[in-house]
Structure 1
């Protein structure tokens, strides 16, 4: 059987690939990568930067390409067969990565080079790669005795399997829940677009009525606008109980298992906790720094959050006689209060945010700032007909990147939004190999009578993910291991979060915020209201985000073996930050994919950390003009193109000319004057 994944390919050959091709291609990729590593180890020449460090970074290219195609599909277009292959492939990949990380002969060669680092006259990028490679071995058990190495292998194998299972359970829970409404009055309060989408979803499943699901474009409008409090409650309880039903999709034992294995792994490697292990390679450096950072912002945000909550309670009581605000009331009454205070809601804004216009807008802004051009093409393979593909060039027409964008929810696609890549940028054999980058979102679908009209939150999400994509597309480094988003995780959110700022600026909104029927540019008073309402309920929003960061650290900054009950532990941690009454049937941890399936364990704080950087960075733009090409050029040169080639704070200060100031964030959030 001819396997298209084993031929040399540029763009991923989706249409030729069958599920049955993946496992053989992964096994083949592992074998080739092993041979490449064996060649480094058996080389009789004296270990040097080029024959050891460089050779190792360029090894495994085929395996990287194949696994990126496979795992991206497992997130964006999965099925039972792909999930089954993932369960089989993950332990093999974990085993292979341990074969390398625990290869003592290879580590000895790396050590020889590392000990000469002061006399090798390396470039900053080469020094960084050497440091990264050496640490990745010493931090992953290369110095351990054989018995402990074996134990490490077992832990890693088990972790790779159960974190996959965690994600599969959440996807299955999301797909399983359906709320079919057959009486139109049950949809009172819902915007027409949301009703239409619910109708279309029911029809697609051969049902009469309106179908509401736990997918964000279905869930968010209902929880925000539906007048029927009981139905909001039903939906919110289902959403908050994912992985928490004591059934075959339950994640409680998986959570306890993951945190215990991570702790055991950290101790095996000589660290006191998983958080200490992770944070050694982050800007924050230690758990203490993270705790004091989160608590410092908590001190500023909590009084504001309490005031806002009290305002919301009074409003709900006056409006509907609600004596006790519950979690399923928050979004609903916040939206009502926002409408009252600012005469602004998503329904007023959505007509100005047609998806295609927002895409054109983000492209135009990228063109003004960074000199990029985007041309939609239909000459390359896609994994689904809804995916859009673009050729990205600079103003001289030089090829910069291939860009994939996938915008709407489907049964085989996990919730949320993310950026990923199919091919890394690198320089090899005197060629600058350009990247293939993708963003995946879950935005409101078009209906028979309306195009896809985005909520303002979806607009900022698109800009956010596109910021990550720019980090990948504009990468200009030598080594794949330092390219694009291969940076510290508390720095990776800077390019994404800084892009969101343009969504609030008149000059930027005038480019793309045009009424989908009349073409009228968004009225100035709406722009003003967007800006004024930007800090609405910011104290509560900040408190919520801090609670997630503190929950993450509570699982990973100490010994979790005493924790027997996931819900009880969570309740104790949320006591400091919760405003609403506890809901006994709900649990955050059992669906906290960021930390139990994604790579954010001990790193959820990084969203807030990067917000400090992004507020400070955007203030620089604001002082000099939001389309100032000189400052954009500095951001491109010192942040976007540099990847992980130097310490992130060094890169940031080179761009900004000073240390980041937290005041910019607190001021923007309205938490200080």
Structure 2
């Protein structure tokens, strides 16, 4: 559905403790004329290394490069379209795909560099500048799916694919699907209708998002009583204190920023204060608030126009339109997965909430637990059961120890070497550069490379920075002579002294290891075409499989011994503490799964119904999924930006499906733990499928090649201790 969306060496122990600080400054952006003094093909790369010259890259250069390259791309597509007129015996690969890729590679590279600078340090590429770059690149790239001559040539080639390789068939499938979802095969009237629906959807989404942003950042709740804030982490107190130097005495201001909200609900001991902040968040942009920023009617407009858009393309509704880009295949399979998962999770939720209620009452809570009480008492119960405290655990995970042993794990499991290359420019002096080698191919030439930026800039706060982002700078493209290049951006804070170690929280560790899965899938790809390499054309509900597979090692006891260090014993964490970390993973799994199932089912029902009352659907879905009482004024969907803005709708379930597939994949490793030879073969098979094939093979086929069968939901439930 990307066309539719567009429409609209080994690591030195000391190197990571040498810190550099740099003051940020503001910018006035003077946009240069298009093409001013820009090299022809890769304007942001150093010719000798074919890597970005970050110390030479400016906002102006990024904007100018995107402006020129998008125009070049659009002109190139028009030229290809013209050349196809009257041309017989079209070779869609030499005449179309290869030419498009030669145009696309440089543009995507500049876009990827700009994205990395934006996420790595927003003061280098401010939000408004990146937004324009992002929008321009997306709008330009969709043109390859809007040419009728290209589409007709592809449909002609589809009639006889006997002489095509599997990869070539997949490329053909991708392009035809994207063209069809962009409406290229429609008649003029339907194309006009499609364009109108897209225009209306964009307008309504823009208004919806604007309302949410206004409501989010206008709410402020001031707390003057220090007793309320005694349980909170120090970093949080410093963030919300009016004067960070007076963070222990306050006052403090609570906002509805997601990370502020989440932490406040988990640590605030006062139920009334929790309710006030929770309901302010839930009622944002609802019919119960400011009339100028209400979204309850916009929901109908967005959903109905999306369904009309889908119908103009020949689908029953929007969720049916999304199925060709999903591994699950169809709505029936999806609902079967969700219902089966609910049947496994709901009885556990009932027991978990009853036990949580008993725990809270024993701790002095009076009354029945409500939604705004769950996060606080869940954290307290987790602490009581497992002595699990993120702040306490942080001092046991030194950054360098975690990184070195993660790279060691990857070498042992998959025969992949990650080696730091010195003297490579980054966007700041704390950025490190690594080459990735596959010894089966070469130990002199890397198959790919990545940047690692572990620390947030001095002028940013971890609570407001995107968490542990993996960003593709450029995908593999043999036609363009480009090897895959990515960046991994963490959110660790500078230590108090440059001589101090940098530490990670366990959640940081978990996310880092998980994101290595995504990184390796991008860099180890054996697919040579930009449109199928890495994660390109991987089904939406399968893109996080490698991420969730790798995440399991964060809970492996032997690996935890490797990456932890207890300064009091000069050794790793003791077995008892490690086991508590592992056990804490299974705290209230039924409730957590029901939360995800509720949101997934709600997403589907909103799109698959003739929507007359979203309020009724919300109530029905809540009663089906929870034992906790439903808030009568529940208006969460009025500010549900993940569904209405960030995603394309009917896709909330995707990460849950990826977790299910990943659990089944990881169980293959567990099954052969006592057979070293079989274990080695299994890891190699994983490398040769999930890390190598990209989108050149369907996600269903990739799973079958690895597992030898179709997915088994029960493996997922067992992995969560639900069966």
TM-score w.r.t. the length of structure 1 is 0.87
Q: Does 1:331 align with 2:375?
A: yes
Deviation at 1:540, TM superposition (A): 0.2
Give per-residue Cα distances to partners, 1:211-265, cap 9 Å, x unaligned: 6555566554443233333443444345545555547666555544432332121
**1:56 Cα shift?**
3.0
5+ residue gaps in structure 2? Answer: 1-31
- Trace 1:79-478 onto structure 2 (pairs within 5 A): 83-84=127-128, 96=140, 99-118=143-162, 121-157=163-199, 159=201, 163=205, 181-191=223-233, 194-195=236-237, 202-203=244-245, 209=251, 218-241=260-283, 246=290, 252=296, 255-370=299-414, 371-375=416-420, 379-382=424-427, 389-394=433-438, 396-399=443-446, 400-405=448-453, 408=456, 410=461, 415-416=466-467, 418-428=469-479, 431=481, 433-440=482-489, 453-478=503-528
Compute the displacement of 1:542 (Å).
0.6
Q: Which residue of 1 aligns with 2:43?
A: 7
1:213–1:632 Cα change, 3 Å: farther
Q: Does the CA-based 8 Å contact 2:535-2:695 persist in structure 1? A: yes
Q: Structure 1 590/460 Cα, relative in aligned 2: closer, same or farther at 3 Å?
A: farther
Deviation larger for 373-382 or 288-297: 373-382
Alignment partner of 1:352: what SS? Answer: coil
Corresponding position of 1:624: 672
Q: Can you list the C-alpha shifts for 1:451-471, whole angstroms capped at 9, x where unaligned?
A: 665443343222222322221
Matched, 1:32 2:68: no
Aligned equivalents of 2:123, 2:638: Cα separation in 1: 22
User: What does 1:512-551 align with in structure 2 at a 5 Å threshold?
Assistant: 512-515=563-566, 519-551=570-602
Q: How many Å separate the matches in 2 of 1:387 and 1:66? A: 19
SS in 1 for 2:363: helix
Gaps of at least 5 residues in structure 1 are: none
Specify whether residues 78 and 180 from structure 1 end up closer, same or farther in structure 2 by C-alpha distance, changes over 3 A only.
farther
In the alignment, the residues of structure 1 paired with residue 193 and residue 123 of structure 2 have an alpha-carbon distance, to the nearest angstrom, of 33
CA distance in 1, matches of 2:184, 2:432: 43
Query: Is the 1:170–1:243 Cα contact (8 Å) retained in structure 2?
Result: yes
Matches of 1:390 and 1:434, distance apart in 2: 13
Contact 1:368 1:629 in 2 (8 A): no
Q: Give 2:90's match in structure 1, choosing from 33, 41, 47.
A: 47
Three-state SS of the structure 2 residue aligned to 1:434 is coil
| In structure 2, distance between residues paired with 1:288 and 1:661 | 16
Change (3 A) 1:173 1:14: farther
Q: Which moved more, 1:659-668 or 1:84-93?
A: 84-93
> What is the CA distance between 1:286 and its match in structure 2?
1.2
Offset, 1:404: 3.9
Structure 1: distance between partners of 2:648 and 2:119: 16
Instruction: Please state whether the residue corresponding to 2:164 is helix, strand or coil.
Output: coil
2 CA distance for matches of 1:25 and 1:165?
A: 30
**TM-score, normalising length from structure 2?**
0.81
* CA positional deviation for 1:519: 4.5
User: Which of 413-422 and 615-624 deviates more?
Assistant: 413-422
Cα separation, partners in 2 of 1:258 and 1:391, compared to 1, 3 Å: farther
> 1:260, 1:64 → 2: CA distance?
33
Name 2:624's counterpart in structure 1.
576
State the Cα deviation string for residues 435-492 of structure 1 (Å, max 9, x = none): 1223445567756798665443343222222322221122221111111112001111
CA RMSD of aligned residues (A): 3.7
The Cα of 1:505 is off from its aligned counterpart by: 0.9
Say if 2:652 is the partner of 1:608. no
Q: Deviation per CA, 1:528-564, whole angstroms, max 9, x where unpaired?
A: 222333222000011011111112212323344x34x
Change beyond 3 A, Cα 1:439–1:379: closer
Displacement of 1:315 after TM fit?
1.5
The structural deviation recorded for 1:657 is 2.8
Measured at CA, do residues 344 and 355 of structure 1 come closer, stay the same or move farther in structure 2, by a change above 3 Å?
same
8 Å CA contact 1:216, 1:416 repeated in 2: no
Residue by residue over 1:147-199, the C-alpha shift from the partner in whole angstroms, topping out at 9 and shown as x without a partner, is 22133234335545665666676666666655555543222223456546656
Change in CA separation of 1:359 and 1:348 when aligned onto 2, cut-off 3 Å: same
Judge conservation of contact 2:100–2:144 (CA < 8 Å) in 1: no
* CA distance 1:281–1:503, shift in 2 (3 Å): same
Tell which deviates more after alignment, 36-45 or 156-165.
156-165
Alpha-carbon deviation of 1:124? 1.3
State the distance in 2 between where 1:273 and 1:377 align.
Answer: 53
- CA distance in structure 1 between the partners assigned to 2:583 and 2:274 by the alignment: 28
Among 691, 697, 713, which residue is 1:640 paired with? 691
In structure 1, the residue corresponding to 2:646 is in which secondary structure? coil
Distance (Å, rounded) in 1 between the aligned partners of 2:713 and 2:145: 38
Q: Can you list the C-alpha shifts for 1:316-343, whole angstroms capped at 9, x where unaligned?
A: 1222132121223212211222233334
Separation in structure 1 between the aligned mates of residue 561 and residue 312 of structure 2, nearest angstrom: 56
User: Which whole-Å CA distance do the structure 2 matches of 1:166 and 1:374 have between them?
Assistant: 46
Q: Secondary structure at the match of 1:650?
A: helix
Inter-CA distance 416–28: structure 2 relative to 1 (3 Å threshold): same
Distance 1:326 1:298 in 2: 21
Give deviations 1:2-44, integer Å, cap 9, x for gaps. Answer: 4669725244455544445555443322221122223322334
**3-state SS, counterpart of residue 652 of structure 2:** coil
Q: Distance in 1 between matches of 2:255 and 2:433?
A: 29
Deviates more, 1:57-66 or 1:194-203: 194-203
Greater shift, 9-18 or 256-265, is seen at: 9-18
d(CA) in 2 for partners of 1:291, 1:502: 30
Q: CA 1:542–1:129 in structure 2 vs 1: closer, same or farther (change >3 Å)?
A: same
Distance (Å, rounded) in 1 between the aligned partners of 2:53 and 2:198? 31
Structure 1 CA distance for aligned equivalents of residues 557 and 463 of structure 2: 38
Residues of 2 paired with 1:453 and 1:214: CA distance?
Answer: 28
Q: Distance in 1 between matches of 2:263 and 2:388?
A: 15
Q: Secondary structure at the match of 2:325?
A: coil
- Judge conservation of contact 2:55–2:425 (CA < 8 Å) in 1: no
Q: Which has the larger displacement, 286-295 or 67-76? A: 67-76
* Equivalent residues in 2 for 1:585-596, closer than 5 Å: 587-596=635-644
2-structure distance, mates of 1:451, 1:13? 29
Shift of 1:129: 0.5
Q: What's the offset of the Cα at 1:128?
A: 0.7
CA distance in 1, matches of 2:285, 2:501: 34
